[in-house]
Chains A and B, each alone.
Chain A
C-alpha cells in the first residue's frame, strides 16, 4: 500500500472526554484507580492498529472550586508517565505519548525518563511538550503567579533544545558541549543507551504564534483543535509553511486535529446517545464552564431556564464570548441549554453520526489538505473507544485510508517519520 494513509491517536482521559462521561452507565467509573481498565483500552487501540495512545497531563487538579470539581471525575487519575511505562510492557506495537510540562520539569530528568520509556517499549515513546497555562499548577511549584506567555515559550525553546541534544548524544561537558543557558545548565550526557528509534517522538499542541514556531522548529507531530475544515486547513497550511525556515520538509510534521465522535449504527441512535450524555451534565458544572467561557463570575445568579443576561464587554477571550452570545440569541437557548452545549464538546470538533458519516468527514479533511491524521477523543471509556474501533476503523480500512496491520515496530515507523541523524 503506497497511498498516503491517515494516522490515528487514541486520546485516553480517565472516564472519557465528555465532561459527564463518568456518570454514563457504560463508562468505567473507577477508571482513575484501575490499571486493568487502561490495559484493556491499550489493547483495544492496538488491535485496531492505532498509531499511538496519547495522555493529556496537568500537574494539579483541573478545577479549583472543590464543589464543582467533586461533580466531575477529573481531580484524580494516574500520572501518565508511570501509566504508559506500565502499558509499555503490556503492549507490543502501539506508540505511547505522554504530555509533560517544560515549566515544572528539568530537561535532564525529562529526557532521561522518556528515554527509559522508549527502552521499555522498544522505541514507541513520545513526549507532548506543553508550557502549562494553569494557575492551579503554578501554585504547586512555588510560583507566586503564572509566568507570562513569552517567558514560558522562551523557556520551552531552551528546554526542547537541551532534550533534543541529550537524545541525539550531542551534549557532553567533557568535550566542551555542555549546556549553560538562560534557564538551564546541564553538564553530562545521559547515562542510558541511545533510543531504539533514534529519539523519542516530539509532539506539540500550542496554537499561538510562538507555539507554532516552536512546533515548526522541533515537533514531529502537532495536535490541534479545529471546528471547521477551513479553520483546520488554514492551520495546516500555516504550520507546514513555517517548516522551510528551519530546513525541514512539509512531511516532517504530522498534523493531527482532535475529533470527538459520537458513533452509532444509525444517526438517530447517535443523536440519542449524545442527548443522553448532555442530560448528565450537572447544572453547576455546566454553568461554571459557561461562566469561564464568558469571563464572568455570577452567571449562577440568573434563572437557569431563562435567557443569557446582557453582558458587559470583557478583556479575556473576546472571540469565544461573542460566539457563545451569538449562538444563544440565534437558537434562543436558555442558560442550561447553552451550558450543556459548550460543556459537552469543550470546543472540540464533535461529529455525531453513523460510522460512514464519521469516515466521510475524516476523509474530507484528510484528502482536503487539512490533516495527516486525527487524535480520537472518545466520549466515554471503554464503550466509545470500543465502538470507534469496531465500526469506524474498519470503514476507514475498506476505503484504503488506514492500515490493516502495523508495517514497522517503532512509533517513528508508524508515523512515517525520518530517523533523526
Chain B
C-alpha cells in the first residue's frame, strides 16, 4: 500500500495544471468559480481548446482519438480542470453515446459520429426518460415503426438536459410491443433538426432552463441510425449507465466547492467573528470535508484496482451526490439571510441580487435547489440502492 501519487503522476498533474492555467479562458473560469450560468459557447470553447491539445476524450481508447490515460490519470485531469474553474465536459456525447457506439455501433456510425463528438461539432442529448417512465425506464412508450428504409418515431421524452442546444439525440424507443418490455427496446440516433422534432423548455425551480421535453411527431429516422440490433437497446442502455455512475462522483468539483465554501465562511460573520470560527458551523463543515476525503480515497481505491467498476460504482454515485448536496447546503447556510435575494440576471450575467448583498451570494440558494437533481438523475439514489442490494449484497 502506497497512497502517494507516483513521480510520473505528479509530473502529469503539473503538466495538466500548467496547460489549464495557460489556456482556460478567464471569463469562463470566473463564471464557474462564481457559480454563474454558462452559455453554450462557454462549454464549446473550452471543449475545442481541449480537443486541439488531444485531451478532450480522456476515457477513450487511443485508436478512436482518446488519450489512453489510466483511470488515475483521468482523475488527476478531472481534479485539475475542476480546481481551476473549467466547465464540466458535456457528457452526453463524450461519455455516454460514444462508448456505446464504440462497443456496439456500425463502422459507418463510428466514422461519422466519433470525430464529430471529439470536435464538438455535434452536441448530443439523451432521450431516455419519459413522462410515465422515470426509474421504471423499461416501461417507455416512444414507438419506432419500420417503414421502408426508415423508422417513423412518435412519442415524448423528458428531462432532456440542454436539448435546446442539441444536434443529435440518442433515444431508447419501443420497436416491439409483443415481447417482454426490456426485449422490445432499441437504441436509435436521431437528428434533432429533423422535421417533427419539437423542444419545449421545462424550467427547474431555480428558474434555470436546463432541461426540456422533446416531442417526436412522425419523425423519419434512417434505418442506418439504429445502433446494434433491434431489441437490444436495454443491454446497451445498461452498459451506458455503468459508465455514467463513476463520472457522477464529482470529487474534483466537490474539492473546489469545499475551498470556495471555506472562503465564504471566512468572509461571513457570526457573533462578531468569522463564521469559520463558529463551533457549530466548523463541525458541520469538517464532517463534510471528512466525508469527501473518505470518498476521494474510495474513488482512488476503485480507480487504482485496474478492474472495471461494477455495481460498486453505485456506492460512488450515492455518496458523491450526498457530498455535493451537503456542500451546496452549507454554502447557502453560510450566507444566512443573504441567501434570500434572487435575481436571474445576476445569476446569468453577474453582479449581486440585492444592493447590500455580495456578488458571490447571488447564485447560492438557487444552486442548492438545482443540486437536488443529483440524487434523482442518473438512476435515483434509491435505484442505486436496489442495484447494490441485488447485485452486491445478493438480497
Partners in one complex: no
User: Which residues of B line the A interface, CB within 8 A?
Assistant: none
